[in-house]
A and B are shown apart, each in its own frame.
Chain A
Amino acid sequence: MSSPSAVHRTGRLETYSYDDQIVRMFIVATIIWGAVAMLVGVTIAFQLATWKMNFGLQWITFGRLRPLHTNAAIFAFCGNAMFAGIYYSHQRLLKARLFNDVLSRIHFWGWQAIIVSAALTLPFGITRGKEYAELEWPITIAIAVIWVVFAVNFFGTLIRRRERHIFVAIWFYIATILTVAVLHIVNGLGLPVTIFKSYSVYAGVQDALVQWWYGHNAVAFFLTTPFLGLMYYFVPKAANRPVYSYRLSVVHFWSLVFIYIWAGPHHLLYTTLPEWVQTLGMVFSIALWAPSWGGMINGLMTLRGVWDKVRTDPVLKFMALALTFYGMATFEGPLLSIKSVNSIGHFTDWIPGHVHAGTIGWNYLLIAGILYYMVPKLWNTEIFSKKIANTQFWLATIGLALYYVSMVSAGITQSLMWRAIDVNGKLVYPNFIETVVKIVPMYWVRAFGGTFVFISFLLMTYNLFKTMNQGTIGEIEVFEAYALDDSSLEENAGHHRKLEGLPMVFAVLSLIAILVGSAIEIVPSLLSNQYITKIDAVKPYKPLELLGRDIYLREGCYLCHSQQVRPMAHEVLRYGKNSEAGEFIYDHPFQWGSKRTGPDLARIGGKYPNMWHYRHMINPRDVTPQSIMPIYKWLVEQKLDLSTLTKKLSVMKQLGVPYSDVDIASGVENAQAQAKLISADLMNQGVPKEVEDKELIALIAYLQRMGTDYGSLPVNK
C-alpha cells in the first residue's frame, strides 16, 4: 500500500534503491573494532588488578592503553555502529538513496584510517593529554574533515527525500552532527610544535572548562543522541509497533538537546572553576533527568503488547535491557551532579562504574539489538543461532552487573576512607595505599566482569559472521515513491522546496564559519588570563620541567593522578593547601585528571627527595609496598629529547607564557644545567650509573616543581 500522505502528492513517481553496501561495510567495521575496544578494556582492567599485567613494556602500560580503549570504544565501536545505523535508517525514513556513493566511501575509509592512526600513535605516547580528545592535531583535523563529509552526505540525502515529514530519529541525527562538529573544533584548538606534538591553546581552568564542556557533550552527542535516534527507528521496527507516544518523542528531543549543552561543568565541582559555573552545570544536569527518562519511558512503553516477543526475540531482548540501563544511567548521572553526592563519587571508581553502565549497558546492548536486526535483513537470512544470542545476552548482563556493583562499592568504600577523620582531627587512613589495597579485590571482580562482557561480544561476533555466511547479499531491490516536488503543486511550491533543504546546509556552513571566525578573534584574548586572580609567586615552568611535563602527558599519568586539591578538610590534611585558579595559568593543557587511582599530585613538589622518585619510577613497590603502579624503568634508559625544546618554548610563548627571547635561546643550556644538578644529587645518594641525559631526570624536575610556587607560601587567606 502507499503511504497516506501520498494522496496529496502529484509529484512524479520515481524509482530508487538503497545503498546497503555501505551499511554492510560499517557493520563489519563495528564488529571488528568493538572486539578490539573490549579486548583493550579487559587488558587495562587486569592491569589495575595487578601491575604485573603491564609487563614492563611502555607501549602497553596502562597510561598509554587507556586512551586507546576509550577512543576505540567511543569513536571506533560506537562511531561505526552509529554510521551503520544512521545510513540504514536515514535512507529508509526518507525514501531516498544516500546523497553520494563516493562520499559514503570516503566517509567509511577515512574513518577507518583515523582509527588506525589512533591505534598507531596512542601506544607510542603521542597524545594531546586531554581525555577523550587525545589524538594529535593531524588526526584531529582529519576527524573534522571526515565529519563534514558525513554531514554533506547526510544533509544531501535529506534534501532529496521523498517523505515530507522528518521523523524524530532524524532530528536526533541532525543534533548529533551539528553539535559534535562545534565541540570537536572548539576543544581541538591547539598550536603544533611538530607533526606529533601540539599544545592546547587554553590553559588551566579555562582548558578544564572547555575540555569538560566537550567531554560531557561527547557523551551526550556521540553516545546518547545518535543512539536515541537509532532507538526511535529500530525499536518500533523490531517490535512492529508504533512508538508509544510520538508527541513525547518530539518534546523529549527538543528539551534534551536544549539542556544537554550546559551540563559539562558538573565534571569540575569543587575545583577552582568559578562557583556560579559549577552551580549552572549542576542545575542543568539535574534538569536533564526529565527528558532522559522521557526517552527511556517512550522506548520501553513501545514494547507494551509485545512483551511475549521480548522473551524470545534476541533483538527486542537486547533493546529492552539497553533502555533499562539507559534509564538507570540517566538517573545516576543527575544524582552524581549534585555537589554533595559528587564530593563522594568524584575521583573514585564509582565514575567508571557509571560510565560503563552507559557504554556497556546502553550502547553495547543497543548496538547488539540493532546488529541482530540489520544483519539478517541485509544478508537475506535469519539469525544463525538464537541460542548463542541468548547466551551472549546473559553473559553480558552478568558481566555488567559484576562490573557495576564492584566499581560502585569500591568507589564509595575508598571515598569514605579518604575522608575519615578521627576525634583528634587526624586522617584515619593517612597512607593513600591503605585505601587502594582495600579495593584491589574489587578490581579483580571488575576485570572478570569485563571478561564476561568481552566473551559475550565474541559470541556475537561469531554469531553475526555465521549469519552473514549463511545468507546472500542478493539483488539490489528497487522501490518506488512519489517525488516531493513541485510543478504540479501551487506555484510557489518549487520555491518552498528549495527553502526547505537549503537552510540545513546553510546552517551547517554558517555555524562552521562562525566558529572559525570567533576562534580567530577570541583566542588571542583568551591567552591573557586577566580575570583569574594572579598569584605573583607562580612562574612558568623551567625548560627541563616543561620537558618533564610532556613526559607526564606521554605516559598518561593524568589518567590515575589528579592535580587538584579540593577545598575539603580531609583533602587539605592529606595533600596540603587547596588549589587556586591562578596556579594553573601556564598549564597547556591542564592536567587536573578525573580519577585518583593514585594520590593527588598537585602538592607533590618537595614532598620526597629526588632519590625517592628515582626508586619509585624503577619499582614503585620499593618505596610504597603494595603499590599497584606500573614500573617505568624505560625512563632511566631513554635519552631525553632536547631537539624540540626551543620550538616548544617559543610555542608556549606564542600561547602567552611569558618566556623571554633569552629564556628560549638558552633553553637547552638551562635544561642541561638543571639536569646536572638533579643527577648529581642522585649520584650522591648512590645511583650507580650516569643518568644526567635521561628522561627520568626531566620528569623528576617537573614533579619536584609541582605546586611549590604557591604551595610554599604561608597559609593566611
Chain B
Amino acid sequence: MEVITILIPLAILLALSFIVGFIWMTMKGQYDDMETPALRMLIEDEKISPRKNIISTKEKK
C-alpha cells in the first residue's frame, strides 16, 4: 500500500492549496464585498457608443 505515501500527501497538498488559496484570497480582499459581485455580473458589457467620450471624461475627473 505504499501508493498511499503519494496519494495522502497529494490529497493533503491539494486540500492545503485550497485552504491557502482561500486565506490568501480573503486577505487580498476578494471577499470583502459579498453583495455586489452577484449583481454586477448581471450587467451587460458596455458597448462602444457615442456616449463614450462623455463617460470617459467624467470618470477621469
Contact = CB atoms under 8 A, between A and B. Distances in A.
To the question of whether A and B form a pair in one complex, the answer is yes
Interface of A: 1-7, 10, 13, 15, 92-93, 95, 165-168, 175, 178-179, 182, 186, 202, 205-206, 209-210, 213, 233, 236-237, 240-243, 246-247, 250, 254, 257-258, 261-262, 274, 277, 477-482, 500, 507, 511, 514-515, 518-519, 522, 525-526, 528-532, 581
A92 B3 contact: no
Given A186-B10, A237-B41, A522-B5, 16 more contacts: A3-B43, A7-B59, A92-B45, A209-B3, A241-B42, A242-B39, A246-B34, A261-B14, A479-B46, A507-B17, A511-B17, A514-B13, A518-B9, A522-B2, A522-B6, A525-B5
A202 B56 contact: no
A257 B18 contact: yes
23 contacts: A1-B46, A2-B46, A2-B55, A5-B36, A7-B59, A15-B48, A92-B45, A165-B37, A165-B40, A166-B25, A166-B30, A178-B17, A182-B10, A186-B6, A186-B7, A209-B1, A237-B42, A240-B42, A242-B39, A250-B31, A478-B47, A479-B45, A511-B17
A240 B39 CA distance: 9
B27 interface: no
Interface of B: 1-7, 9-11, 13-15, 17-19, 22, 25, 28, 30-31, 33-43, 45-48, 52, 55-56, 59-60
A274 B56 contact: no
B38 A236 contact: yes
Given A237-B42, A478-B48, A479-B48, A261 B15 contact: yes
Contacts of B25: 166
B18 A530 contact: no
Chain A contact residues: helix, strand, loop or mixed:
helix
A247 B37 CA distance: 10
A149 to B, nearest CB: 22
Chain B contact residues: helix, strand, loop or mixed:
helix
A478 B10 CA distance: 44
A583 B19 CA distance: 39
A528 B2 contact: yes
B56 A258 contact: no
A479 B6 contact: no
Contacts of A274: 1
Contacts of A5: 36, 40
* Residue from B30, B33, B41, B55 whose CB has the most chain A CB atoms within 10 Å: B41
B33 to A, nearest CB: 7
Nearest to A256: B18
Given A2-B59, A246-B34, A531 B1 contact: yes
Contacts of B35: 246
Given A257-B18, A258-B19, A479-B48, A210 B3 contact: yes
A13 B14 contact: no
B49 to A, nearest CB: 9
A210 B3 CA distance: 8
Given A182-B14, A240-B42, A531-B1, A518 B37 contact: no
